[in-house]
Amino acid sequence: MKILVVSDSHLFGDDLKRVVNLYQLKVDLMIHCGDSSLPLDDPLIQQFDIVVKGNHDDAMFPLYKIYQNICVTHGQYYSVYYGYDELITLCQENHCHICFHGHTHVPTHQIHQNIHFINPGSLMMNRGSYGYGTYAIVNLDNQIDVHYHHHHTDNVCSHEILDEGLELLEEFKTLL
C-alpha cells in the first residue's frame, strides 16, 4: 500500500492542492494529520481518505482515526512534544503498529515499543535550518519505507533533515 501523508498545511491551499493533484492517482490512501484549517465541506480536504483535527482546526474532525493497524492523530492531544508515552498507549489499546501524526512541524520517523511513529512535517514550513515544508510518501509492502519530499520541488529530502529534527525535538523537551 502506498500512502500520501501530510500535516500542518495551515490554509496553504495551493501547496496542498498541488500535492493532492500530483499523488491522488498514484497512492492508495491519502491522510491529513490535522491543521489544514479547512472546513469539513472544503472540496480539497474531502479528497483525503482520513483527516483528523489539529489545534488550528475549527472543523469537527475526529481527534484520532484507526485504519487497519494504523493510528492517525495530530499529536497535541497526546503531548508529542514530551515524547510518545500517551500515543504508545493509544496505539496499544487499538492494536496499531504505525502512528501518523503532525503538530511539531518536524519530520521524523521513530520506533518505540515496536510502533512506528511517522510525522510528515509541515506542508507549510518546518522548524529547522533548511526552511521548507515536507510531506511523506509511505510504502507498506513487506516493510515500512518512508520518504520525505520537499513541498515545492517534490524532491526526496536528505536524511540530515531527520537528524536535525530529532535534535530540535530533544531541545524542545528542555524548553517546555
Per residue in 24-60, pLDDT (tens digit) is: 999 999 999 999 999 999 999 999 999 999 999 999 9
In the predicted model, is pLDDT for residue 171 greater than 90?
A: no
- CATH of residue 131's domain is 3.60.21.10
Rounded to an integer, what distance in angstroms lies between the CA atom of residue 20 and that of residue 114? 30
Q: What is the DSSP string of 122-170?
A: -SS--SSTT---EEEEEEESSSEEEEEEETTT-PBPPTHHHHHHHHHHH
Calculate mean pLDDT across residues 160-172. Answer: 76
Domain count, the chain: 1
Cross-strand pairs, 2: 139
Calculate mean pLDDT across residues 72-100. Answer: 95
Place of cell 474532525: 61
Domain that holds residue 55: 2-175
Per residue in 127-160, pLDDT (tens digit) is: 777 778 999 999 998 899 999 999 999 999 988 8
In the predicted model, is pLDDT for residue 125 greater than 90?
A: no
